[in-house]
């Protein structure tokens, strides 16, 4: 069986189109291209230099933006404008692609071209690009991300040092939480009470039999008395690094949230790449330094 085919737009071409329009709207005259001709002076050159597929429907390209001009000052100002426009991308539709700024990989730096007298500043940004279904040609819905700040994580068990519970909240599907048990739980302590209206789980890199099958989301004000917010049974993840999102029917503000996994598909290992809480707002994942502990929730000390 072949799953749904997801295609990703040419991010370089989409950014060329977008920045041409945005610079023109600002009254900034500059060529925007993926290549530089020998007679180009004032130029923004766009080059994808890496990145990875973060989810089944989301690509995370890293893109370098070069701003060329006659003087250091002019090149610096052009780089500043381009940087601001790129970092303002927020689910922006360009052609058939939805683009969002995700993170700055490298800030502006002076990088004069060795073969000309032109000044050049460059910076590298990571974007989030939503894929398009080959069958329908329509952009896919965006995966939910954490908009609630997690301060600390506790779990029933974990596989230290690499496969620990705090990996659930690091917004990186390449890491995971793993426990040698057929069931288990993870608990988030928030920086302040938050109302989760949705939550999402992302499957890890291997062993689909380890995926959560039956689980509950629970909330607590004190980490002692728990309220069941949602119950799911018979859940299947279609692939590795797949994200499934669930809605909380009666959300309320809690300081502690617990994901209680009561069954996996088979075997005696439970694993999960990410567990995200969403309060209904949009934005980037809130990832902060945190502690991870095996033991009861809440965390003390």
Tens-digit pLDDT profile for residues 190-219: 989 999 999 999 899 888 999 999 999 999
Q: At what angle do helices 72-87 and 11-26 cross, to 10 degrees?
A: 110
Span 97-126, mean pLDDT? 90
Q: Determine how many CB atoms are found less than 10 A away from the CB of residue 9.
A: 19
Instruction: Tell the burial category of 264 from Cβ atoms under 10 Å away from its Cβ (0-12, 13-18, 19+).
Output: buried
Domains and CATH numbers, the chain: 6-133 (3.30.2000.30), 150-294 (2.60.120.260)
Of the given ranges (50-54, 99-103, 230-234), which has the lowest mean pLDDT?
50-54
pLDDT at position 286, please? 47
* Residue range 124-130: mean pLDDT, rounded: 91
pLDDT digits (tens, 9 = 90+) for 23-35: 999 999 999 999 9
Q: Which pLDDT score, from 0 to 100, does residue 291 have?
A: 47
Q: What is the dihedral of CA 144, 147, 149, 154, to 10 degrees?
A: -20
**Is the pLDDT confidence value at 54 over 50?**
yes
For 26-96, list the strands marked E by DSSP: 31-33, 43-55, 58-69, 92-94
Of the ranges 37-51, 75-89, 129-143, which one carries the lowest mean pLDDT score? 129-143
**Residue of 99, 92, 47 whose CA lies nearest to 68:** 47
Res. 270: pLDDT tops 80:
yes
- CB 46, CB 134: distance < 8 Å: no
Contact between 170 and 204 under an 8 Å Cβ cutoff? The reply is no
Q: What is the mean pLDDT of residues 72-77?
A: 96
CB-CB contact of 81 with 30 (8 Å):
no
Nearest 5 degrees, angle CA 270-CA 271-CA 275?
125
Residue 149 vs residue 248, higher pLDDT: 248
Range among 57-66, 163-172, 252-261, 285-294 with highest mean pLDDT value? 252-261
The proportion of the chain whose per-residue pLDDT surpasses 90, expressed as a percent, equals 61
Report the distance separating Cα 299 and Cα 301, nearest Å: 7
Banded model confidence at residue 135, pLDDT cuts 50, 70, 90: low
Predicted confidence band of residue 7 (pLDDT cuts 50, 70, 90): confident
């Amino acid at each position: 069986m072949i799953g749904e085919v997801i295609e990703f737009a040419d991010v370089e071409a989409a950014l060329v189109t977008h920045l041409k329009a945005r610079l023109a709207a600002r009254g900034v005259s500059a060529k925007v291209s993926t290549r530089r001709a020998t007679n180009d002076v004032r130029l923004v050159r766009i080059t994808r230099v890496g990145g990875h597929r973060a989810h089944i429907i989301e690509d995370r390209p890293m893109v370098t933006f070069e701003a060329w001009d006659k003087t250091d000052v002019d090149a610096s100002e052009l780089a500043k404008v381009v940087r601001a426009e790129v970092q303002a991308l927020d689910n922006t539709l360009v052609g058939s692609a939805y683009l969002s700024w995700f993170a700055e990989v490298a800030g502006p730096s002076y990088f004069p071209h060795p073969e000309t007298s032109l000044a050049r500043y460059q910076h590298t940004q990571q974007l989030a690009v939503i894929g398009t279904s080959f069958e329908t040609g329509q952009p896919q819905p965006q995966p939910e991300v954490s908009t609630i700040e997690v301060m600390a994580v506790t779990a029933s068990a974990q596989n230290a040092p690499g496969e620990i519970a705090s990996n659930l909240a690091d917004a990186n599907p390449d890491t995971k939480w793993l426990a040698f048990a057929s069931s288990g739980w993870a608990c988030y302590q928030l920086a302040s009470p938050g109302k989760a209206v949705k939550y999402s789980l992302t499957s890890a890199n291997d062993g689909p039999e380890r995926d959560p099958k039956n689980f509950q989301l629970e909330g607590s004000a004190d980490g002692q008395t728990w309220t069941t917010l949602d119950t799911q049974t018979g859940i299947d993840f279609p692939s590795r690094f797949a994200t499934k999102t669930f809605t909380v029917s009666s959300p309320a503000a809690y300081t502690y949230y617990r994901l209680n996994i009561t069954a996996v598909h088979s075997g005696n290992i439970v694993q999960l790449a990410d567990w995200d809480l969403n309060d209904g707002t949009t934005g980037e994942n809130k990832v902060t330094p945190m502690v991870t502990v095996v033991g009861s929730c809440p965390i003390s000390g």
